[in-house]
Each structure stands twice: as C-alpha cells, then as structure tokens.
A and B are shown apart, each in its own frame.
Chain A
Amino acid sequence: MTIRAVEGAAGCGKTTRLMAMLAETLAAHPLTEGQRVLALTFMHGARRRLSDRLKGVAGLGGRVQCCTVDAFAWRIYRRWRGLAMALGIPAFTEGEFDAVCDAAGLLLEQAEVRSWTAMSFPIVLVDEGQDLRPQRLRMLVALAGATHAKIAADEFQCLDQTLRPNPLVTWLQDTTEPETLVQVRRTNVGGLLAAATAIRGSQRPVNGQGFRILQPGVSVPLAATLLANAIAWRQGGDVAVITPALQGGFALSVVARVAQGPCGQQQNGPYSIHWEGTDREETQLIVGALQLPAAPTAAEACAALRALPPSAPGRAAISWVNNQMHAVGRTAFAREEIEAVIARNVALRRQHGGGGSHLFNAMTVQQAKNREFEGVVVIWPYQVGGDIEHKRRLLYNAVTRAKRWCNIIVQGQNILAGAPFA
C-alpha cells in the first residue's frame, strides 16, 4: 500500500495537490462496487469545504465518505464494540473523543478490522494532518498499512502547543518522502507574500503591497474606525475579521461598535459583521432560555422545549423526548441529558451546512483555519496566550487567509515591540 504526502506553506495549494493525487490514484486503482474514498478532517467546517472540493475530482462521482476523524473513530468503535470488549477495551461514550480515537486505533491495528475498513475505503485522504494528536495518528498509521493514504500537512499551521515536535510530520519523515510545494497560489500580492514568509521565518513582517500593520487601535472607537475604514476602502470582496483571542472582549467590542453606526471622521459604516459562533455558544443560547427543572417529567420537558423560540435543535429535542417516551417507555428525564441532546443537534446541524453566508464575518484564528477571504483584518488584543512560536503561528494562520489584502490592528503600541511583530 502507498503513502503519499504533500507539505507546503499556507496557500500553496496542498488541498488542490491532494485532489490531483486522488484523481491519479483513482485512475490507477478504480473503486469497485461498494467502495468509497474516506476523507478525514478535524472540524466540521473543514469537512464541508473538503466535501465541496471533492465534488470536482474526476472519477470520484460522489463515492466519498467525508467526515471528521472523531466521527469516523466513533463509527469504528461502535460497530466493532463486540471485538473491542473481547480486546479488553473499556466502554466509552461518544464525547470521550481522545479515548474513542485511541480505541479505534487499537481496533484498526487488528488485521480483520483494518482489512474490513480498507475494503470499504481503499483510499484515505487526510487534510491538515499536522493537527492529528497521537490517538488520531494511531488510526491513520494503522489504516495506512492497508490503504492508499494521501496526507496534506504543514507543521507551522499546527495551533496545538502540545504537538511539538509534530507527531504526524515526524512519522511522515520516517515513512515517506513528502512532496513540498513552494509556490504560493492563494495570492500573488507581493507584500502579503513577504509578510507571510517573514512571520514563518521568525522575522519582523513589514508593510508592503496588500499588507499593512495599522496604527494601534488603543481605544475601541479608534480600532472601530480603523476597521470601518478598511472595509470601506477594500474595493469589493468579502472580509474576515480574525482574532487570536476573544478574552478581554476587545475584538467583540470593536465589531459591535462598527455595527452601531458610522465611525470616525470618514463616517464609514455601519457594517454588520457576523460573528461565527461555536457549537457551545449556540447551545448556550438555546439552553439558557430553557425553563426546565433538574428532573422534569416527559410532559414538562416537552412543554419547556415548545416554549423556546423555534429552532432546529429545539425541535429535534422534542422529537427525541417523544421517542424516548414511546420507544423506550420513559417518563422521567434529567435536564442534563436534554441539554446534551440540544448540543448534539447543534453540532449535527452545523456539520450539515447550517448557517447562511455573509459578506463580513468575524471569527477566531482556529475557526479561520483552512479558509480564504479577499480581505482580512486581524484584531490582536493584549490577551493572546502561548509562547512566541505559538503567537507566530497564530499570526501566520490569520495573515495567510487573505487573497488580496490584510490589515492588522493591535490593541496597544507595546504589542508591536514584541513577537511576532518585532
């Protein structure tokens, strides 16, 4: 079986190269009836985007299972639970992600499970492989022994400080000779390219074509004016406001101010910028409004859920309660389990599309991973954690999302005196 890997800086077209590799492998080893390609990602958003990219791959024709590593691990563990018990693996629940991945890894190390999986998925695709923790890497290593594995990774884009040295990159170096992509394709704007190269090379990024570190936004109104101006003068296209930290609320306040009304002398704005929520926030929003005792009856649970503002997760929770009543005969519930059902359905809905598209979006660096925008405004508050290396990676990940331009607004002058800006 073969392992092929591609490395390269952000925007070099690793995913594109991955798709090309996939097309080559499909041509050489066409899928037989019942077989599919397994495409693994880490976040649900990335899963959606990868799924879109896969639609264009010649010879695939939709025969692909695109899911998160955790979802795949749960699937393997759940279906082979009988063998897991025989192997002495304890019982886990779906939320114990690392443990479930480790168990799935152990199962996939069994020849029978590995070959069963490889029969179903003779080609395995992993994008953003640098984010694989050891438990998840264990699954990939096992699978690679029986499949054609295609892996894209860039160690510098790993935002998990515990993954140094990077387990996947280390394994790849011992296993195969990764292709390295050097030509950045996302942008050909000189200043952007130079800034990205500088940050990656531990150098000071300097202003140039398309890349500007603005004057520090020392107050919320000032930062809001800088942001509003950047949006106003952008000459079209979408904009992402990206922040490495929500702590302290600086980025939130700035975005809120821009939405309130015109800003500064130029009176640019207002602009409505959509904050991309997390599953947790959306869940909190629904659960917070839920008027429910700790141990409700079925009727109380249904009434409380019906009293919520209409939402898909709310409706799903009602139908879950109904099903528990009629399918299992339950009459008593616990508030926590109903909250868990809502959380699960929030995640499910986000997995399968959900959420509209906006011209202006605000998000964390983590959420921005693997995406691209015409313009990017980075809002860098005081509260950015991590070591210097980590901060560099955060800034690099944010800046390299831009195709045409990137502006940086730091919260204070002294930030510019330290890494990654100095």
Chain B
Amino acid sequence: MRTVAGGRTLRIAKLEIENFRGIREGTVQFSPHTVFVGPNNCGKTTVVEALALLFGRDRMIRQLTEHDFYGSNPQPPDRIRLVATVIDFEGNDPAQHMDWFRDDRGVVKWWNPANGAVMPARADPSWRLACQVAFSARFHRPSLEVETLRYFHDDDAVEDVFSEESATGFPARLIRDIGFFFVPAARTWDRTVSFGSELFRRVVAAGEGQPSESVLTERDRLRAPEARLEQDERLAPIVERLNLELRGFFRTAPKLHLRVTTTDSDGLLESVVSHYAHEGTDLPLPARRHGSGLLSLQHLLLLLQFGRLRAEAHEGFWMALEEPELHVPPALQRRLVHRIQALSQQTFVSTHSPMVAALADPKGVAVLRNDDGQLTSIPLLTSTLPADTPNSVRKLFQVNRVETIAALMHEFVLVPEGRTDYEWIGLLVRAIDLHQSWAAADECRFDAFVGVIPTHDGAVLRTVNAMAPLHPRVVAIVDGDVEGLGYAAALTAAGSPNSGVIIRWADDQMLEDTIGWIIEADAAACLAAIQIDNPAATSAELVTRLKSENRNAGGLKKDTSSYESIAASIGANEACCTRARSLLNAIADLAKGVANPLFVADANNAAVKVFQP
C-alpha cells in the first residue's frame, strides 16, 4: 500500500462492468499501479473509460450513445452498470471518513484482500473498509437519449436506480477530492497549455499562483492599445464609412474599434497560447509548431505538476493514461511512466507497448481477455505462482517479460518447444516481412495473429499451463521426435492447450528439418547466398549442422549470426521465401482452426496436426 504522507490514500480495488461497450460482464482487480495489456479489442480502453465515467469530472464524460451498450441495441431494461470498490481508508474506521460514510453518502462495506470479495460485515481483521460507487446508464427510447447516474452502491440487490429513483447520488465534491485524471489516446492538445484550459487554471489556482494582477494589467493594455487597427491608414477610410452608415441607424452613433481579445480577463486567458523557444533560437514558436512529441509531453508534464500540488496539499491524485508510448520515444516512456507512478496514488495505464508494460512491477501488469463479452483480468504474475515453478517458466515473467507480453497481445499465442524455435520463427517472420510486396498472395498473416512465447528448456507443458489463464487461445508446437510425441500426448491427456490446437513437426523431425525443407525450394541459389564459414553443399548438410552445437564439426546450433544469414538468404530467394510464407500462414490457419494442406491430423491423435513436407 502506498501512503501519501498524512494525506489521502484511497485507491480502487476492483471494478465490475456490465453491459458496457464490448464487455457484457467482467471484473477487474487493480493494484496501486496497474498496466493493462492484451490483444486489440480486449477492453483496455473500455476499462479506463469506465473509470472515467465513475470518477471523472462531468466534462470528461462524453455523451453516451447506443453503441456504448453491449450489443449496441439497448432495450428498455438494459443498463450499463459499473461498480467500483474504493479502499485504503486510513485506519479503516468509517468514523474518520465522514465524507464517504454517512446517511447521504455511502454505507460501510468490507473488502477481503484474499479474494477481492466485498462483504456487508467484517469477519476478519485483515478485511479493509470499502465504499462502493456505481454508474448506471440507460437508453431512453422516446427521447433517444442516454440517461446516466452516479451513486453510492448500497448492495447488489438494489432495485433499478432509474425506475425507483432512490439512489444516493455521488457528489461532485468527492469527485473533486479524488482527483481522477484521464489522458486518452486521442489527444487534441494543441491548446492545452493555455490559460483557457481548465487544467491549467486549476494548476495555477491550486498553487495559489493565479497571476490575476498581471492578467488585469494586460487586459487594460489590450483595451487601449497603442497602435489601433481601426486607425491604420488603409483601414481607416472603411471604418469611417461604416461609422457614417451606422450613424444613420442609431442615435448614439456607434463607432467601430478593433481589439484582439474580448477585453475581459476571460477573453485574455482564452487567447493565451503557449510558445516554446529551443536553446539557440530567439523567436519562440507556438507549441503546435513543435511536433507532437512536445505537445503530448506538455500536457502530461502539466498534469504531473498538478499531481504534485495535490500531493503536497494531501489531496488525491489518480491517473489513467492510455498508451503513454504514443508520440514519446522509448527513453522518455520509461521516465514518464516512472514519474507518473511516483506522483500518483494510483495509476491505470493501458498500453500496446510491451516495453511500457515491462516497466511496471509484473504483479501490476494485468492481462485482459475478452471471451464473447466476458471480460477477465489476470495479473501477469500472480503471487500464487506455485512455489515449485521452474526457473524456465519464471523467466517468462521476469527477464523475458517484454517478449511474453508482446506474445500475449496477439490473437493467438504459440508455445514452441524451446528458444531455438522461438528465434527461428522470429527470423523467418522478419525475413519474409522485408520482402513483402502489396500483392495479396504475398501476404504473411502470421505475425498479425500469432505471438510466440520464448519457451525455455523444452518446458512446453509448464509454459502452456502458465499461459492458459492469461490467454484463451494458446497453441503448442512440438517436435516429431520421441520427446515431442510425449509432450503432445501429455498435453492431450490434460485437455490442453485451451485452443485445442497442437502442431507437430513431421515424424522424427524438428524445426531445423523444416528450415531444410524451405531451402529445398531453390537449394542451389539459396545455399550459395548463405554467408557462413564452410558453406554447406546440401540442405541436408545444413540441417545436420544446424542441429549440432559442435563448432569443431561445423555445428551451427545457437549461432545467431549464422541463423540471421540463413534467414536473410531465404527471404532474398523468391521460391524459398514463398515456402517459408506458406509455412507460417499454415500455422496461422491452424491456430484459427482452419485446415491447411501442409498439415494433416495425426492418425493416432486427431488433435495433433502434423507437418507434411
């Protein structure tokens, strides 16, 4: 638990979502600094926007439409319902938190940290005081409007808040106290650092720095400018004629004056535009002329200043940030994420960047998955990882977590037998990509759909099991040797993997043999192009050497630079490249459950699809 000295410590323990966007139902538990990862459309943005609906200021709440309801066709009784459980009230004593617990606020609940359940009475001293806040929305057909309500959630049996009108509203005052800020991925920020932006005004006001005297002085100067536009020699005749005309209509003879603002302080603040001058340049340029990097950053930095002020004033600061990797180079991402986490009580970050996700404590990385509207959220590394978990599996969540997270963001997750397979598949994908044209036939669909796990030490069974809770479509690929057959049999016996798809190389073969098969497409040309010591004369020789680690005998196993050279030659050779592509596409097809002529079902085990070179 993170504690802001003497101040607010509140955080959200969990969020229940019903009927919102692509989520029919789901629960997400949060750690103090949560980073959401997962494939596209798994609900990352939905979760963050749900928090904004619950805790964001009114102006942050976009008008909802039918499309915000699950299925996009809300019937009268359908409701979007979001329930958040707020915990970490200091002392766990409701009497100390009257702004949350009283007759016109919430009722007392208790959160069980062991299972995340919220109970009406405290049965164990480890349970923490909790308050539940809800958001509900319905589509009112006669007016075609979505009606929304934020209220204290008394219990799950509560009748419909719209038909009973009995809910206790969640007051704007608490929303201010919480200080929830949401930086969406769609950033239209060019005017952000202007006094006109509410954020900037609040930052300045929070620091008691409202520069009101300067503003008023500038306002007065603008009311009576030294050089008056209307007196310009070319403009003056027009203005004079206009004034004459006006005199014909109004007894008071109005005269035109041109001013650059509305000559009140509000107009002045609205007109202020941030400019930046880089070192060595005299003339500052408006922020929007500087490129999106600076623009994105200035907003975030301003928010962080605001967060700092709130922290100093012992006020809350929760921050939701979508895709911090946008516009910010990797080096800054790291700094940014760390700054945000250091200054906020709680952060909610959604990301498509495995690097950003890997910055966080692995316990804070939540993998979201959406199975037909059923949302689940699993911490990347649950503290319940069995004690006997071998290092080979542990590594996936630690040193290799960038790769693991990257794989989990795909529609399908492929678990190969070992590191070599992982590396070879990656090399083939890159080699093909480099030579990809716009022709549809050239398209390699593999990388768009399938993410590969860097399995260690042939721990295919363990790895498949470790990935199963994190992803609904895990595919295993094993060798055609005795061990591989054993893995395949063990997996099938355990009803694993969850996709039901096991891929196996041809009998007595492994991936290196398949590389040989690819080269066979145009062996002479391809082998000649491979830049290695003692070039192989035949593909069979190359395969043998690829399987051997004996460097004295020309063994190439785990020789990365040779791998790269071979892959480059495959990519550069049209026939080989086509074969490699057809292989990868075949694997993608199998993952999707589509039959592909390169693989046939094992006669002994129909779940296993065997490569037929």
- The answer, yes or no, to whether B120 is at the interface (CB within 8 Å) is yes
Q: B140: which A residues are within 8 A, CB to CB?
A: 326-327
Q: Of the candidates A83, A119, A328, which one forms a contact with B121 in the assembled complex, judged by CB atoms under 8 Å apart?
A: A83
Contact at A34–B99, with CB atoms within 8 Å? yes
Give how many A residues have a beta carbon under 8 Å from the other chain's beta carbons: 33
Q: A79: which B residues are within 8 A, CB to CB?
A: 107, 154, 168
Known contacts A83-B120, A116-B107, A323 near B98 by CB under 8 Å:
no
Contact at A112–B108, with CB atoms within 8 Å? yes
Contact at A326–B121, with CB atoms within 8 Å? no
Q: Of the candidates B77, B102, B120, which one forms a contact with A119 in the assembled complex, judged by CB atoms under 8 Å apart?
A: B102
- What is the minimal beta-carbon distance from A112 to any residue of chain B, in angstroms? 5
- The answer, yes or no, to whether A78 is at the interface (CB within 8 Å) is yes
Contact at B162–A327, with CB atoms within 8 Å? yes
Bound Cα distance from A326 to B142, whole angstroms: 8
Contact at A328–B141, with CB atoms within 8 Å? no
Q: Of the candidates B108, B155, B163, which one forms a contact with A116 in the assembled complex, judged by CB atoms under 8 Å apart?
A: B108
Contact at B94–A112, with CB atoms within 8 Å? yes
- The answer, yes or no, to whether B521 is at the interface (CB within 8 Å) is no
Cβ-closest chain B residue relative to A121:
B103
Q: Of the candidates A65, A82, A110, A328, which one forms a contact with B103 in the assembled complex, judged by CB atoms under 8 Å apart?
A: A65
Bound Cα distance from A113 to B122, whole angstroms: 12
- What is the minimal beta-carbon distance from A172 to any residue of chain B, in angstroms? 26
Bound Cα distance from A87 to B75, whole angstroms: 36
Contact at B141–A81, with CB atoms within 8 Å? no
Q: Of the candidates A81, A326, A328, which one forms a contact with B157 in the assembled complex, judged by CB atoms under 8 Å apart?
A: A81
Contact at A328–B94, with CB atoms within 8 Å? no
Q: B468: which A residues are within 8 A, CB to CB?
A: none
Interface string of A18-32 (1 = CB under 8 A from B): 000000000000001
- The answer, yes or no, to whether A57 is at the interface (CB within 8 Å) is no
- The answer, yes or no, to whether B160 is at the interface (CB within 8 Å) is yes
Bound Cα distance from A290 to B405, whole angstroms: 67
Bound Cα distance from A81 to B94, whole angstroms: 18
- Interface size classification for chain B: 20 to 34
- The answer, yes or no, to whether B441 is at the interface (CB within 8 Å) is no
Bound Cα distance from A82 to B138, whole angstroms: 24
Interface string of B127-163 (1 = CB under 8 A from A): 0000000000010111000000000001111101011
- What is the minimal beta-carbon distance from A86 to any residue of chain B, in angstroms? 5
Contact at B162–A34, with CB atoms within 8 Å? no
Contact at B163–A324, with CB atoms within 8 Å? yes
Q: A65: which B residues are within 8 A, CB to CB?
A: 103
Q: Please provide the chain B residues from 154 to 192 with a CB less than 8 Å away from any CB of chain A in the complex.
A: 154-158, 160, 162-163, 166, 168
Q: Of the candidates B108, B109, B158, B163, which one forms a contact with A323 in the assembled complex, judged by CB atoms under 8 Å apart?
A: B163
- The answer, yes or no, to whether B331 is at the interface (CB within 8 Å) is no
Q: Please provide the chain B residues from 73 to 110 with a CB less than 8 Å away from any CB of chain A in the complex.
A: 75-77, 94-95, 98-99, 101-105, 107-109
Contact at A327–B77, with CB atoms within 8 Å? yes
Q: A87: which B residues are within 8 A, CB to CB?
A: 121
- The answer, yes or no, to whether A115 is at the interface (CB within 8 Å) is yes
- The answer, yes or no, to whether A117 is at the interface (CB within 8 Å) is yes
- The answer, yes or no, to whether A329 is at the interface (CB within 8 Å) is yes
Contact at B102–A329, with CB atoms within 8 Å? no
Bound Cα distance from A115 to B102, whole angstroms: 9
Contact at A327–B138, with CB atoms within 8 Å? yes
Cβ-closest chain A residue relative to B107:
A79
- The answer, yes or no, to whether A120 is at the interface (CB within 8 Å) is yes
Bound Cα distance from A86 to B76, whole angstroms: 32
Q: B168: which A residues are within 8 A, CB to CB?
A: 79
- The answer, yes or no, to whether B119 is at the interface (CB within 8 Å) is yes
Q: B109: which A residues are within 8 A, CB to CB?
A: 82
Q: Of the candidates B104, B121, B163, which one forms a contact with A112 in the assembled complex, judged by CB atoms under 8 Å apart?
A: B121
Q: A113: which B residues are within 8 A, CB to CB?
A: 108
Q: A81: which B residues are within 8 A, CB to CB?
A: 154-155, 157-158
Bound Cα distance from A80 to B121, whole angstroms: 11
Cβ-closest chain A residue relative to B102:
A120
Which chain A residues have a beta carbon within 8 Å of chain B's beta carbons? 32-36, 65, 75, 78-83, 85-87, 110, 112-113, 115-117, 119-121, 323-330
Q: Which 8 A-B pairs have the closest CB atoms?
A: A82-B155, A329-B76, A120-B103, A120-B102, A82-B120, A83-B120, A329-B77, A86-B120
A sample of 13 inter-chain contacts (CB < 8 A) reads: A33-B99, A35-B102, A65-B103, A78-B154, A78-B166, A81-B154, A82-B109, A86-B120, A110-B121, A115-B95, A119-B95, A324-B163, A328-B77
Which chain B residues have a beta carbon within 8 Å of chain A's beta carbons? 75-77, 94-95, 98-99, 101-105, 107-109, 119-122, 138, 140-142, 154-158, 160, 162-163, 166, 168
Given contacts A81-B154, A86-B121, 20 further A-B contacts (CB under 8 A): A34-B98, A36-B103, A65-B103, A79-B154, A82-B109, A82-B120, A82-B157, A86-B120, A110-B121, A112-B122, A115-B94, A116-B101, A116-B103, A117-B103, A119-B101, A326-B76, A327-B77, A328-B77, A328-B160, A328-B163
